[in-house]
Amino acid sequence: MFLFRRGAARVTPAQARQRTTDGDAVLLDVRELAEWNAGHAPGAVHAPLSRLLTGTALPTAAQDRPLVVICRSGHRSQRAAGLLTGRGAEAVDVKGGMNAWVTAGLPVVDERGSSGRIA
C-alpha cells in the first residue's frame, strides 16, 4: 500500500494564502483537534493526519479541490501532502507550517473566531 510519496511540492505561507484566498484551493490543516482549537488560519478545513492515515475521507469542503496542506512546523503536512498525492489529489505542503504562517504576519483564529495562537 502506497502511503507516502517523498518530494511533494512545497509553497511559502504567502503563496499558500494567495492560492487559498483566490478560491481555487483549500487550506487543509492536519494538526490534532487541540492544536486546531487553539489557533488556525481563517477559512482552513480541519482533517487531522492521524485520521487521514486510517483512510478517513477528506471533509466535503476539501474533496475534488486542490489542497494546500499545513501543520505546525511542516513535517506532518509534508507527509499528508504525499499521502494525498498518492491517492490522486492535487496537494502541496506549506513550508514551515503554522509557525511560518504566524512569522509571516498572517492571521490566526481560535475555534470561536477570536484571535488565536499556535499551540
Of 9, 16, 11, give the one whose Cα is nearest residue 106: 16
Active site residue 117: no
C-alpha R_g of the chain: 13
Let me know: does 46 contact 29? Beta carbons within 8 Å.
yes
Q: Position 99: which residue type?
A: N
Catalytic residue among 45, 71, 81, 91: 71
Q: Tell how strand 67-70 and strand 45-46 pair up.
A: unpaired
Which residues on adjacent β-strands are paired with residue 38? none
Show which residues are catalytic: 71
